[in-house]
A and B are shown apart, each in its own frame.
Chain A
Amino acid sequence: GESVGLHLPTLSVQEGDNSIINCAYSNSASDYFIWYKQESGKGPQFIIDIRSNMDKRQGQRVTVLLNKTVKHLSLQIAATQPGDSAVYFCAENVGNFGNEKLTFGTGTRLTIIP
């Protein structure tokens, strides 16, 4: 079946550098995408979302890029901090109102090196 996946399971970045986490999705009907951050022992925390009619969206220190042509999603984190160390998940949704049934990828573990 169609699923969301991630290119790299782990990523290490020097503190202060920028990081990019990539995600490939295969369901061409997906129209809403979300990035979540999950710290050990906690539930996923919403970071940023993007609809399929957009190709870029910015938040505080984070940017999500969507390339529908190649079904690729990325999360850029600027000026990384130790608190950014976590597992990051991309999730996709197909539905009229969004979030009816999110499909999550496996996740990428980001480690910030002090």
Chain B
Amino acid sequence: DTGVSQDPRHKITKRGQNVTFRCDPISEHNRLYWYRQTLGQGPEFLTYFQNEAQLEKSRLLSDRFSAERPKGSFSTLEIQRTEQGDSAMYLCASSLVRGFNSPLHFGNGTRLTVT
């Protein structure tokens, strides 16, 4: 399977703990995105990278959230001091920017439950 891979698929943690998620994009894709999706809602943009550079962060991304893409390949999203409101599906997507039409390809997400 050469699609976007996310790990873990599910994470249950206690409030106050730190969690880290990993995303492996489609290998030739230069852009990587993180979105968050809560039940019954569409995905909300969090941040995106062009190669290793983080180009934009949403206001949704509080200072407890940090994302990295150190070598321009895989990315990690860390949430520190988790809160119950962080419970959501965290989606990663990638795209190859070579022109205007470059659809995002999503992984199957990491579902976070904060108890």
**A101: which of B45, B91, B109 is its contact (CB, 8 Å)?**
B45
The one of A46, A51, A106, A107 that contacts B104, using a Cβ cutoff of 8 Å? A46
Minimal beta-carbon separation of B100 from chain A (angstroms): 5
B2 within 8 A of A: no
Residue A65 at the chain B interface, CB threshold 8 Å: no
Where chain B touches its partner, the secondary structure class is loop
Q: How far is the CB of B97 from chain A (nearest CB, A)?
A: 5
Q: Is the CB of B43 within 8 A of A99?
A: no
Q: How large is the interface on B (under 10, 10 to 19, 20 to 34, 35 or more residues)?
A: 20 to 34
| CB neighbours of B97 from chain A (8 A) | 97-99
Give the residues in chain A near B109, CB-CB below 8 Å: 42-43
Question: Can you list, as one digit per residue, whether each of B35-46 has a CB less than 8 Å from chain A (1) or not (0)?
Answer: 000001111110
Q: Which residues of A contact B (CB under 8 A)?
A: 4, 32, 34, 36, 41-46, 49, 51, 89, 91, 97-107
* 20 A/B residue pairs, CB under 8 Å, sorted by A: A34-B103, A34-B104, A41-B108, A42-B108, A42-B109, A43-B109, A46-B103, A89-B42, A91-B42, A97-B97, A97-B99, A97-B102, A98-B97, A98-B101, A98-B102, A99-B31, A99-B104, A100-B55, A102-B45, A102-B104
